[in-house]
């Protein structure tokens, strides 16, 4: 579905920026708002962080990590 594709794209953006995803084998359900990053740009501050699923990232400073 389109929603699954959008969520998968957000995971790819985060991983490309250097983040790891907690429980990556299950489908993480986090979304990066296009106000934060439209095409994966500006996510450098995620490098080295482990993101938890089920969140809407609307502000890069308020990302929930492990």
Question: pLDDT at residue 10 above 80?
Answer: yes
pLDDT the model gives residue 16: 96
**What is the C-alpha R_g of the chain?**
10
Calpha distance 43→10 (Å, rounded): 11
Prediction pTM value: 0.87
pLDDT tens digits, one per residue of 12-57: 999 999 999 887 567 777 899 999 999 999 999 999 999 988 889 9
Query: In this predicted structure, what is the pLDDT of residue 24?
Result: 59
């Amino acid at each position: 579905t389109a929603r699954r594709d959008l969520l998968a794209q957000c995971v790819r953006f985060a991983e490309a920026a250097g983040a790891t995803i907690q429980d990556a084998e299950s489908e993480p359900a986090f979304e990066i708002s296009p106000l934060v990053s439209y095409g994966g740009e500006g996510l450098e501050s995620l490098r080295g962080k482990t993101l938890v699923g089920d969140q809407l990232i609307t502000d890069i400073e308020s990302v929930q990590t492990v």
